[in-house]
């Protein structure tokens, strides 16, 4: 009887070891597939919303942020936002009511990439037409951090508080 019990325990032990090995191999193969199949920057698909002259539009981004675009404005954003940040590119004028997400900052770039706005609060207006000399930002609620790169390559930052306006040439 004891010999039969030992045989049975040995089979149960082998079965558990095989299940453990199969689980480890499955987890390892999933990890390897995820590493090699994760999307590259070039694989990201973008959506461009553009308003015609004399028209205005409003819509909601995938993260729940409400966007109001003025006439002749173009906004480009990814179909799905990254896990680290929510980055959009603006050429024109837009009013943003940003959905709060402390783990993923909302960042607005203008076309020449020398000016970047990181949202620390919720509502702001930004005017950055390619034909204008100035970039104007007016903060309504919360706070925003402006990061500007000078012609000499020095990066400066400014934090706006509600009802403040920043002009960047």
Say what the pLDDT of residue 30 is: 83
Using the predicted structure, report yes or no on whether residue 117 has a pLDDT greater than 90: no
SS3 content of the chain, % helix, strand, coil (to 5): 25, 40, 35
Q: Which residue has the higher pLDDT, 48 or 135?
A: 48
Say what the pLDDT of residue 1 is: 77
96: its two tokens: 């943003």
* pLDDT, tens only, 73-93: 999 999 888 888 899 999 999
Mean pLDDT for the chain overall: 86
Say what the pLDDT of residue 45 is: 87
Say what the pLDDT of residue 130 is: 83
Say what the pLDDT of residue 69 is: 95
**Percent of the chain scored above 90 by pLDDT?**
28
Residue 96: its H or E element: strand 86-97
Show Cβ contacts of residue 169 under 8 Å, excluding neighbours closer than 6 positions. 133, 134
* pLDDT, tens only, 58-67: 999 998 999 9
Range 156-169 average pLDDT: 86
Say what the pLDDT of residue 107 is: 92
User: If you search the block for the tokens 């990439």, which residue do you land on?
Assistant: 113
Burial 10-20 (b: 16+ CB within 10 A, else e): eeeeeeeeeee
* pLDDT, tens only, 12-46: 888 888 889 999 998 988 888 777 765 555 677 89
């Amino acid at each position: 009887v004891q010999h039969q019990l030992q045989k049975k325990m040995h089979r149960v032990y082998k079965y558990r070891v095989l299940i453990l090995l199969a689980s480890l191999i499955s987890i390892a193969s999933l990890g390897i597939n995820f590493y090699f199949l994760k999307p590259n920057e070039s694989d990201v698909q973008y959506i461009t919303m553009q308003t015609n002259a004399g028209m205005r539009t409003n819509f909601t981004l995938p993260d729940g942020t409400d966007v109001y675009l003025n006439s002749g404005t173009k906004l480009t954003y990814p179909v799905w936002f990254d896990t680290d940040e929510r980055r959009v590119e603006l050429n024109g004028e837009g009013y943003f009511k940003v959905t709060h997400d402390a783990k993923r900052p909302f960042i607005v770039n203008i076309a020449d990439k020398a000016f970047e706005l990181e949202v620390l609060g919720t509502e702001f207006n930004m005017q950055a037409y390619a034909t204008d000399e100035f970039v104007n930002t007016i903060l309504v609620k919360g706070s925003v951090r402006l990061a500007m790169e000078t012609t000499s390559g020095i990066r400066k930052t400014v934090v706006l508080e509600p009802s403040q306006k920043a002009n960047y040439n």
